[in-house]
Amino acid sequence: MRRGSALAIASVVLFVTAGAFVRLARPAPPRVRAGLTKGAPKDVTPAWFGHWIWSAAIEGDEMVTRITPSDLVTKVGPTGWPGCPPGIVCTRHGVRSLVFGEDGTFLYAAHPWTSSDFQQRGSWIDGAVQVDSSFSCAHPRWRAPPTPLTPVHAERRGARLWVAIGHDEDAPLPFAPRPTGRWWVFRRVSRSRFAALFPRLCQPEPSASCHWLCFAPLP
């Protein structure tokens, strides 16, 4: 079983996979047009709009990780999810979250299974994203440089959004501009459900205060 590597942050595990490989029956529906533009007419609902929570990780034709709603339930270690450190809030596989707002707002967040947050905030237009702020409420000293406008390959397949992933799934922005054979599959949720699955506890440090977006409403 493949396991995600850790970000270069002491004592932080970003991704844990578990469970057996499962054969995925994946048809090849028509590709989604990438031209999903900021300021689209209100009577049009582009396929990427909305709040998204991951539901599977795919490699080739194999589902390497399936994330069910029960896997997103937080439990405090050492009881609860296997391997969760004492006193730490954990989910089974962590949470990956996306927002493609109708106003052009973009958000991507990686919550490792130990529930820290690593957030990318910015904008999106025409199938590309730009990151202006990269920060963590749980680890205020963590920062990543802004990302210029970067193409993202995503396909709407039924009710799911399939997003192509690059070789480094723990990169601040892990998405790929073209299919790579690796996908994260996201399901659309309500804004309130999204917020409930988005821990962002501010943990200030002597040398770093929390980013102001830690206290602002989520998009």
The answer to whether residues 128 and 152 touch, using CB atoms and an 8 Å cutoff, is yes
Q: H-type helices in the chain, by residue range?
A: 191-196
Distance CA 194, CA 114 (A): 18
pLDDT of residue 201: 86
Q: How far is CA 9 from the centre of its chain?
A: 18
Element (H, E) at 92: none
**pLDDT average, residue stretch 142-155:** 93
Strand 147-151 to 154-157 pairing = unpaired
| E-state strands within the chain | 22-23, 50-59, 62-66, 75-76, 89-90, 95-100, 105-111, 118-125, 128-135, 147-151, 154-157, 160-164, 182-189
Element (H, E) at 42: none
- Identify the band that residue 10 occupies on the pLDDT scale cut at 50, 70 and 90: very low
- In the predicted model, is pLDDT for residue 145 greater than 50? yes
pLDDT of residue 37: 36
pLDDT of residue 180: 96
- In the predicted model, is pLDDT for residue 32 greater than 70? no
Burial class (CB in 10 A: 0-12, 13-18, 19+), 205: exposed
* Token reading at 178: 């073209």
pLDDT of residue 24: 33
Distance CA 111, CA 194 (A): 13
User: Of 109, 115, 107, 22, which Cα lies nearest the Cα of 73?
Assistant: 115
Q: What is the pLDDT of residues 44-56, one digit of tens each?
A: 358 999 999 999 9
- Identify the bridge partners of residue 131 per DSSP, sorted by sequence position: 122, 147
CA terminus-to-terminus distance, the chain = 35
Q: What is the pLDDT of residues 61-84, one digit of tens each?
A: 999 999 999 999 999 999 889 999
